[in-house]
């Protein structure tokens, strides 16, 4: 019997766009982007099993060699894509569909509702399914998938080196007045 694996499917463009448009209200600086190595480590620690990180990226022109090399050094498998339409979404959807037939768990890093039916199919089988992102920007379709675990990139994963300017509802047990005064 082989050891179970978690497949970490990263929609980096979605995270970058949400961070820029919805959180920072501007294009993120390199130091403000998620530390992708922390995301990979979190996935491994959260479910206590090996992780295969697949980082999907659209490449309209030249391959971003330095970024791809950095992903490889962190332990990700880059999946550079080119073509018509939302190539990253198409590739993640096809990968999720292929994983339905495998004995594996899946974590998706995205807020995109286009993945909801695929996550629902994965959750319907005997496997763990998780979604990582910013809770307040998670698409309703993803929130409605039964059996999915949600992890916040900032608060649960600690994927950022500094605190983001987010407004969120705070459970009273987590309220720290020192954060506001």
Mean pLDDT value of segment 162-181: 81
Q: In this predicted structure, what is the pLDDT of residue 10?
A: 97
Over the chain, what HEC string results? CCCCEEEEEEEHHHHHHHHHHHHHCCCCCHHHCCCHHHHHHHHHHHHCCCEEEEEEEECCCCCCHHHHHHHHHHCEEEEEECCCCCHHHHHHHHHHHHHCCCCEEEEEECCCHHHHHHHHHHHCCCCCEEEEECHHHCCHHHHCCCCEEEEECCCCCCCCCCCCCCCCCCCHHHCCHHHCC
Q: What is the CATH number of domain 5-179?
A: 3.40.50.1010
Q: In this predicted structure, what is the pLDDT of residue 76?
A: 97
pLDDT band at 1 (very low <50, low <70, confident <90, very high): very low
Of the candidates 87, 155, 98, 89, the residue with the CA atom closest to the CA atom of residue 116: 89
With 60 as the cut, is the pLDDT of residue 2 above it? no
Q: How far apart (Å, rounded) are the C-alpha atoms in residues 122 and 125?
A: 6
pLDDT in tens, 96-128: 999 999 989 999 999 999 999 999 999 998 789
């Amino acid at each position: 019997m082989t050891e179970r694996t978690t497949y970490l499917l990263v929609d980096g463009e979605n995270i970058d766009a949400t961070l820029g448009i919805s959180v920072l209200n501007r294009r993120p600086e390199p130091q403000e982007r998620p530390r992708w190595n922390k995301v990979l480590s979190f996935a491994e620690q959260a479910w206590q099993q090996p992780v295969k990180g697949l980082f999907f990226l659209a490449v309209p022109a030249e391959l971003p060699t330095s970024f791809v090399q950095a992903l490889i050094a962190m332990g990700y498998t880059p999946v550079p894509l080119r073509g018509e339409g939302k190539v990253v979404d198409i590739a993640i959807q096809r990968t999720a569909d292929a994983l339905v037939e495998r004995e594996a768990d899946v974590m998706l890093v995205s807020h995109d509702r286009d993945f909801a039916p695929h996550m629902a199919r994965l959750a319907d089988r005997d496997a763990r399914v998780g979604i990582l992102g910013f809770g307040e920007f998670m698409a309703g379709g993803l929130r409605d998938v039964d059996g999915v675990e949600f992890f916040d990139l900032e608060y649960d994963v600690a994927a950022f080196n500094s605190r983001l300017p987010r407004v969120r509802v705070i459970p009273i047990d987590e309220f720290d007045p020192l954060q506001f005064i």
